[in-house]
Amino acid sequence: MLYPLKLKPVYKPKPWGGRTLKTRFHKKIPDGKIGESWELCCRNDGMSVVAAGKLQGKTLKELIGAYREKLVGTRVYEKYGSDFPLFFKILDAAGRLSVQVHPDDACARRSGLPHGKDEMWYVIGTKGNASLIYGLKGGTSKEQLNRAIDHHRILPLLNEVAVKPGDFFSIPAGTVHAILGGILIAEIQQNCNTTYRLYDWDRTDQNGKKRELHIPQALEAIRFGGETPQAPFPAAAKTKGGAVVRPGPKVKEFRVDEVRLDGSIENRSDPESFQVVMDLDGGGKIQYGPACDGLDPGDTVLIPSCLGKYSVSGGAKLLYTHIEQ
């Protein structure tokens, strides 16, 4: 029988990373600037492994091959087969990320990639007056941006937005964006990691070398003239059982909700799709049948589509991800 699957994170060093993953979530990160914790991933450059239970040590790829629609759901398996469609990260942006953009599906396929990258951000925590870049200023054209890049004057064309814990941001492919430091973010996205950098703050590595930029690809990928999505996304709270639920934005096929527990919330797995629970505080518990698993801060759990009834209880704050038609 499948059960709620806790997964081991995959850690990635970044020049803008920090140590908050250790101090906030007590994660056993390696030395150095760790910018990304890949919480749930099924990729050649990072693969989730089950952390506990009878399937401990099995990779997500192995489980999809063995259990197919029982794990990921009938609709998901029919559409994606052995390719897991989503990618879950926690980002520790101690410093500024590059100003960047991701391709949409059509742009990605022109470059030989299977699909693009739409994503969603949830702000877990901030330090000081935190902000991020979210889109270009209204009316900016491709020609204006190209000239600004040539003259090293891109910053006046970028739209800066203040952020606070609990903010949701939908980041559609083609939207210029950057996290400006002092922000801890949960990032949930299409299973694509293609990033085109427009500007990297003139940073250099220990050898004095700047990171590669991708100006032609970025200019091709940016959505010019379109309406910038609302930032941050306004999420109205509603009460459900022993929880307060704030529905986040729908991004492509998936939606991420914030769930604040004060007691217990009853759920049922979806036979057509998997579900994912991220515990941001710790202290939560997942009950399924006679079994009960405790959750630590930062735990990410894959709920198999065949699980049936389950409940989550405690005093935790969760992010709950599900795929919608």
Distance between CA atoms of 269 and 3, rounded to whole angstroms?
11
For 91, what's the count of Cα atoms within 13 Å in the CB-facing half-sphere? 25
Distance between CA atoms of 294 and 273, rounded to whole angstroms?
23
With tokens 């877990």, the residue in question is 124
Which residues, at least 6 apart from 268, have a Cβ–Cβ distance to it below 8 Å? Answer: 308, 309, 310
Which residues, at least 6 apart from 78, have a Cβ–Cβ distance to it below 8 Å? Answer: 69
Give strand pairing partners of 91: 36, 185
- Distance from chain centroid for Cα 64: 21
Distance between CA atoms of 244 and 261, rounded to whole angstroms?
7
Q: Is the peptide bond before 232 cis (omega within 30 degrees of 0)?
A: yes
Tokens coding 148 = 């600004």
Residues serving a catalytic function are 197
Q: From the CB of residue 64, how many other CB atoms can be counted at a distance below 10 Å?
A: 22
Distance between CA atoms of 226 and 224, rounded to whole angstroms?
6
